[in-house]
Every structure is written in structure tokens, then in C-alpha cells.
């Protein structure tokens, strides 16, 4: 009987993953190649598939099989992990009606279309109705999940991205960052930024694309198990460790946009390609959390991609593609230029000092929305007020502000804080990698990125979902989630670049 129950679990997990992969494929296509008039049909296709996926997960037969197998003392460690994670997902899913899942899927597809139209027109009101509906639906989903003990509605959504994270833990952590970052940015802003005029002008898209592919190759992205495309908002989608799709975006007057969005998404992709292939048909072949996922993209984008060692290796290749613009630029000049600090409007183009302030802005708005403290049509004004307060800048139109991110069109409330969590994890992981590999930076300076990729694969990627995210980080580094390492990293890096003394890390920085 136990054997039959286990077969039921395995086959159902495989079917759920297959359906999820098809949903991801249709979503990827919608953002890359689907014609605009395909939105209506795509909405129904996604609703049908996500409904089927939900029905598989809540099937009483699966619940009976899990209950039977869960009492078996002979389960291996991996089998126990599968049951633990499947129970978590199923218990959440059983609280949500299938009709709600389908309606969210339909609304997401429509919202992606209206968001794109609103961005082009720079008018939030074209997106407002779909966003209002998504907010209502996500509130309903959060209420169906139920707030964790002692928690609130937002925790129920946050739990889907960062297992075990709560507003009561997250708010003090982000407040610590805010308390350090705001004065740090003010101090840095009193000093002139490094020169960067050589990054102005025209940088042909074909050559930018060539450099993006060169970077992917150096990082070890397997092009036989993935591909690079273009989209409005860069993203990574994985259907399997051997089929991982990433996108970048290219602006001919902003050459660094494609560079760092490519590195960022490749960091995500390396995680996906490094997941345990032996578990590809079950729930363990997925990331432990989105915070840990973001740690990989942010580590590669910033701690590696904005380092002097990295550009010692890769600036010559970049100069060969753009000899007129960059041919006479010294590596020290280029390193300083890519580490300019300037409060700006667009999160994905933000420097790493101000970046978390963008995340804090979105977190505060999301929290207000889920608490029913902010009407959707008042979001642009609230956004602009917070942008002024945190960053000292105000959008001139909605595309520079509330419409810049795709996440709310996807209905991803609770996701944004994982960017900040990822930043914190990235510094802790890099500190550990440096301790274990004293020659790490000279090796990167030679353009050899494999040792770091392999260290991350051993310590992060290969575990998939067999362990919780913070357990993976703590096992690899000796530390859990904390702000000390990240603040220390910023101090060590930016004090010499700008010739300043930045504040010490607050005593409350640790959230371990």
C-alpha cells in the first residue's frame, strides 16, 4: 500500500511540474514573441493550465497518499524532504478555490497587456483597473491562506516566496538598512561622482548583444541548456535545468543596461542550471527561496560584475567592440564609472548603494495595499512621495515611477523584499567564498569565473529545495540572514572610491 501511495506521489509531482513548465513557457512566450492580439487567448490558456495544476495539488487522493507515506519510518532524507515540501505546498493550495486560481491567471494575462500599453502611454490609469482587480484577488488569496500565527495578511503572500519570513522580522531589517543607507547616500552625494562621459553616446545594439553572449560564456551559462532573448523587462524562466531562458534589454544610449541585466539574469540561470538534475521531476528541483535566488543574481551582478578584478579581465573585450568610445579608457576609470552612486528613478538601473531604497519603497506600498490602507488609484502619488523621501528624486511621468516594474502586473505581491534579502545573502556568501578561496580575486582578474561558479554550485545550487534557504546559507557561511556583511561590504568598497567615511553599521543590523 505504501508503495502504491509513493507511486501516486511521484507521478502527481511529475505532472504538476510538467504543467508548471508549460505555464512558464507560455508566459515566456508572452513576454518575448507572442503577437499583441494573442493576449485574450493566452489568458484563457494560462487559466486552464493553472487550474489543472491546482486541481492536481489539492486532489484528495494525493492527500491520502501523503498521509500514508508520511508515517513510514523508512523514508530516506531526500524522500522526507519531498514529502515536507509537497505538504507545505498542498496545505496552502487546499485553502484556495480553483476558481480564484483561474481568475488570477486570467487577470495576470490581461494585466500584462494593459501594463505594457500604460508604459508606452506613460499613463497609470490605463493599468489601474486590472491592477485593482489583481490586488483584490491577492487579498482574497492571502485571506484564504490565512495569516500565520501572530502575523498578518502580507505574511501569507511573503511565505510563498521566502519561507518563514514575517513582517515582524522584515521591517526591522529593512529599517536598519534604511537608517544606514539614507545618510550614507547623503555623504556620498556631497562628493563628485567619477567621470563617465565615455559611456555616453551611441553603442550599437549588435555589439552590445555580442558582449552579452561573451559574458554568458565566461560565466559558464550552458547555451545547449538555455538561450538569451530580449524583452522590455529582463527576466529568467526555467522549465528544467536543461532548458533555462533568460532575457536582457538593450538601449543604444545606455550600454551598461545590457551588461548588468545580462549578468544579473545569468546569475539566476546558473542557479537553475545547477539544480539537482536527479530530482528534475519532483518539487526538490527548485530554488529554496526567492531571496536565495536573488542572492545569486545580485552576487554576480554587483560583487563580481562591478569589481575591479572583473573589469581587468573583460574591459579589453568590451573595448574591442567599442574602440572609439572606450579604446583609451583605463580600467581604473571604468571601474569607478560603473560604481557611480546617484539616486535615480529606475530600480533595475540603480547603483548598489541606493538599490535597497527602491525595494523599501515598494515594500511599504505593498504592505499598505494589503492592509487596505492605500487605494490603488492613489499609488502614483504615494510612490512619488516615498521616492522623494527615500531617494530625493521624483518621477516626471508614471513610466519612470509606478509603471516601471512588471511584478505587479504578474500579481507578485510579496516578491520585492526578496531583492533586499538577496543582497544581504550575497555579501555573506561572498565573504565565505573569499575565506575558502584566497586566490579568488586574482583568478577572477584573469577572467576565470569557474571556481566561483563551482563554489556556488556546491554550496547553494545543488541543494535545490532539500533544505530551507537560511539553513543553506548558514551551513555554507556560519551565518544566517544579517545586514552586517552587506553594510561592511559597501563601506569597504565605496569609502576609497569617493574618499569618504561612511557610518558604522548600526548595532541592530543583525537579524540572525
As annotated, the active-site residues are 265
CA distances from 399 to 117, 128, 241, 308 (A): 11, 13, 34, 33
Q: Scan for cell 544579517, then name that residue.
A: 482
Closest-CA residue to 327 (of 314, 318, 338, 336)? 318
Cα gap 422→420, rounded to integer Å: 5
Strand ranges of the sheet holding 226-230, from the earlier edge strand across to the other edge:
226-230, 243-248, 236-240
Q: What does the DSSP 8-state code read for residue 348?
A: G
C-alpha cell at position 129: 483597473
Q: What does the DSSP 8-state code read for residue 506?
A: P
Give the helix/strand (H/E) hosting 248: strand 243-248
Closest-CA residue to 241 (of 215, 269, 282)? 269
11 and 67 Cβ atoms separated by less than 8 Å: no
Burial string for 169-195 (b: 16+ CB within 10 Å, else e) reads ebeebbebbeebbbebbebbbeeebbe
Q: What ranges in 285-378 are assigned the alpha helix state H? A: 290-298, 308-321, 323-326, 331-337, 355-370
Amino acid at each position: 500500500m505504501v508503495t502504491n501511495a509513493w507511486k501516486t506521489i511521484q507521478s502527481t509531482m511529475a505532472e504538476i511540474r510538467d504543467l508548471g513548465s508549460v505555464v512558464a513557457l507560455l508566459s515566456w512566450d508572452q513576454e518575448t514573441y507572442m503577437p499583441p492580439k494573442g493576449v485574450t487567448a493566452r489568458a484563457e490558456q494560462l487559466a486552464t493550465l493553472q487550474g489543472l495544476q491546482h486541481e492536481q495539488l489539492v486532489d484528495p487522493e494525493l492527500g491520502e497518499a501523503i498521509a500514508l507515506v508520511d508515517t513510514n519510518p523508512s523514508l530516506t532524507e531526500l524522500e522526507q524532504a519531498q514529502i515536507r515540501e509537497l505538504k507545505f505546498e498542498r496545505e496552502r493550495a487546499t485553502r484556495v478555490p480553483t476558481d480564484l486560481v483561474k481568475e488570477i491567471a486570467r487577470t495576470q494575462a490581461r494585466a500584462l497587456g494593459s501594463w505594457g500599453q500604460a508604459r508606452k502611454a506613460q499613463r497609470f490609469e490605463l493599468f489601474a483597473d486590472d491592477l485593482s482587480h489583481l490586488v483584490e484577488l491577492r487579498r482574497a488569496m492571502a485571506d484564504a491562506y490565512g495569516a500565520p500565527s501572530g502575523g498578518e495578511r502580507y505574511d501569507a503572500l511573503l511565505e510563498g516566496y521566502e519561507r518563514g519570513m514575517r513582517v515582524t522580522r522584515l521591517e526591522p531589517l529593512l529599517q536598519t538598512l534604511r537608517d544606514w543607507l539614507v545618510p550614507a547616500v547623503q555623504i556620498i552625494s556631497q562628493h563628485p561622482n567619477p567621470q563617465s562621459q565615455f559611456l555616453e553616446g551611441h553603442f550599437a545594439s549588435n555589439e552590445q548583444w555580442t558582449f552579452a553572449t561573451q559574458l554568458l560564456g565566461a560565466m559558464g551559462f550552458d547555451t545547449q541548456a538555455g538561450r538569451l532573448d530580449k524583452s522590455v523587462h529582463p527576466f529568467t524562466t526555467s522549465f528544467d535545468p536543461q532548458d533555462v531562458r533568460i532575457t536582457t534589454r538593450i538601449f543604444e544610449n545606455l550600454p551598461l543596461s545590457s551588461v548588468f541585466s545580462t549578468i544579473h539574469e545569468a546569475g539566476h540561470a546558473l542557479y537553475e542550471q545547477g539544480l539537482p538534475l536527479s530530482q528534475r521531476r519532483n518539487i526538490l528541483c527548485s530554488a529554496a527561496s526567492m531571496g536565495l535566488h536573488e542572492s545569486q543574481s545580485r552576487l554576480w551582478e554587483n560583487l563580481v560584475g562591478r569589481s575591479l578584478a572583473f573589469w581587468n579581465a573583460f574591459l579589453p573585450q568590451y573595448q574591442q567592440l567599442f574602440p572609439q568610445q572606450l579604446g583609451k579608457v583605463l580600467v581604473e576609470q571604468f571601474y569607478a564609472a560603473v560604481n557611480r552612486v546617484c539616486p535615480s528613478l529606475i530600480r533595475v538601473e540603480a547603483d548598489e548603494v541606493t538599490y535597497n531604497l527602491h525595494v523599501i519603497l515598494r515594500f511599504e506600498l505593498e504592505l499598505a495595499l494589503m492592509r487596505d490602507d492605500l487605494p490603488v488609484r492613489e499609488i502614483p502619488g504615494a510612490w512619488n512621495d516615498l521616492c522623494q523621501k527615500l531617494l530625493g528624486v521624483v518621477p516626471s511621468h508614471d513610466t519612470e515611477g509606478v509603471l516601471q516594474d512588471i511584478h505587479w502586473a504578474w500579481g507578485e505581491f510579496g516578491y520585492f523584499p526578496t531583492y533586499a534579502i538577496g543582497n544581504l545573502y550575497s555579501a555573506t556568501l561572498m565573504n565565505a567564498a573569499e575565506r575558502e578561496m584566497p586566490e579568488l580575486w586574482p583568478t577572477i582578474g584573469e577572467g576565470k569565473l569557474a571556481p566561483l561558479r563551482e563554489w556556488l554550485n556546491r554550496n547553494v545550487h545543488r541543494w535545490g529545495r532539500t533544505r530551507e534557504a537560511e539553513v543553506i546559507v548558514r551551513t555554507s557561511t556560519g551565518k544566517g540572514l544579517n545586514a552586517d556583511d552587506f553594510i561592511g561590504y559597501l563601506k569597504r568598497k565605496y569609502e576609497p572610491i569617493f574618499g569618504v567615511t561612511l557610518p558604522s553599521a548600526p548595532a541592530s543590523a543583525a537579524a540572525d
